[in-house]
Structure 1
Amino acid sequence: MRIVLFLLLFMSSEEAGTELDLVFILNTPLMMSDADLSNAVDFMYSVTDRLTIGQTHALVAALSYSELPTQHFTFTSHSSKVGILNSLLALKSINRTHDVSKSNEVLDFVRTTTMTESRTNASKFIVLIVMQGTAVPVLTEWAAEDLTTGYNTQFVVVGLDSLTSADQALLLKVTTDESRVFYVSDFRYSCNVVPNVTNILDSTAETSPILNCPDPNAVTETTTTQAVYPTKDDSLLLVIIGAIIGTIILLATLVFAYKYVKSNADKDKRVMRAVEVYGEAPLGTSKVFFCHDELGKSSTKEPGTSSSKEETKSAYIQRLALTQNFVNGRA
């Protein structure tokens, strides 16, 4: 009875399709950037990491193509997951040299070379990671039909949504099932479809979302940050302005004081000189008579004045002017 139950369990596990022959085909045209290549390889790595690898489980092969196909490892190259994952990571250094993408060439190569090592009872899947459209659409369609007919191969496509409508229509013909075609705006978002692709390949595999996978639908919040400028300190400016105004007032005051002092000094000088000149007149001479005489109305000297002290008329005029200045300055 126990033997019968064991056989039933074993047979049911075999019927569950645990054997999987998986071929990754990576489109690597010249236009592919290092970032695109790295993200595409990370996609293949993540899918493989969720599968159970082994002779009775999943085996993996990987190819790249642009003008010509290049097979990097086959189903029999690695028997462990570690070996496969390390070989996948090595694909990040692929040299891109051609812009043309001949999908038909790589599909024919898979049919004539890669699949010859596939297991008879294994499910066979080809995952196409497409960067740009194929050069010869009709030949690609025929090559895909030959693979499906010869090995019962199923296709899954992960491509850029920038592909033309004609290219997308061709990929739909290749897969014959739109639920197996996934488009991303950038390969960095391909991690979002890892759970879907993994579930198609092996329904028993883990299908949880990839941690830290960027969301293509996320709206980047742009916060307008108002520039914060340091508070302007006007105290120094006010001090400078105050100093300038104070200086101007001080200078004006000094000028005014200088003029006032100078004016008074000039007046004092005039007074002193007038007094001096007035004092030079003969003793007893009256101011009126002195002025009268200086006006030129009379050149007669006061009686009793010596002829040796006579002054010329010009000297009298000078005295008159000084005396007038004296009178005007004291007024």
Structure 2
Amino acid sequence: MTTTRPPHTFHPQLADRLSKFSDQSADSVTARDFEALAEPYGPGEEWELVIDDREIPGPGPRIPVRIYSPAVPASFPRPCLVWLHGGGWISGDLDMPEAHETARGVAGRADAVVVSVDYRLCGKGVRFPAPHDDVVAAYRWVRDNAADLGVDPARIAVGGASAGGNLAAGAALRLRDEGKTPWQALLLYPALHALLPDPSDELATALTQLPAAFGLFTPHLGQVIAAYLGDTPVESASPYAFPGLAKDLSGFPPTYVDNDEFDHLRSSGELFTDQLRTAGVDVEQVLSAGVPHGHLNLVGLDTAHATLDRMAARLRKR
């Protein structure tokens, strides 16, 4: 862990805001409470980018995407990240900080093209594999249109946060099986197992520091997984739905996993990292200290900036 703070202490800028949750239960917390937690921690970053909203062909309805390209022309094709926001497969959009600010920050830092994908959300008859199919279709579209996008077809990564991290890993697994393995996968605090692995003793200790309101993953994770899988029992879910179920991860792309210190999903990210290493995959695992789940939504927080720096550094590699 790279931090000057003792383990299991919250980031100083977060501590005061989190204290307001100390007497609230998970059922009593409102959306406004979480919005207040995520109000900007500093000024927004400015980047010279061209931002283009489009709709591309999909396996169902057309898929909205938002393309972030550096404004300065390049004499060579740029790397690309196909990016997927979180939201438990049932919420989230291209405007949320985890989508928009992440895409802007990575494109600007890495001199890269970022394609943010508004995959179908589950509910009202939509379930797996619809969002998964949308992500795979978006990746293929970027690959097929690399020249028009100014993208190097050999350097197209797929990445996402939380449920988006799940979708990114599932797409990488399917594309590997099709012989079109992505350049790399960037997985931020991902949900990769249908049944959450038991936490390590260290993680269990960290989780005791979370306000009860953040225990939402234990009572509600099953509900969002049910919305994602529909009638499919978790025990028989496809590895494309939960890549932690895959029996063979060899050939998975080089992977970056970024876990949040105070996050029930950290046990999934840590176990998947071990599974990848056992399969011989090149994997880098980082612990973002002092933050709960979803720190890319905390605009202006230095921890979020550090994550964007690491993501950009991977995209700049040739």
Fold similarity call, TM over 0.5? no
- Highest Rg: 1 or 2? 1
Compare the two structures and name the one with the higher strand fraction.
2
What is the TM-score when the length of structure 2 is the normalising length? 0.36
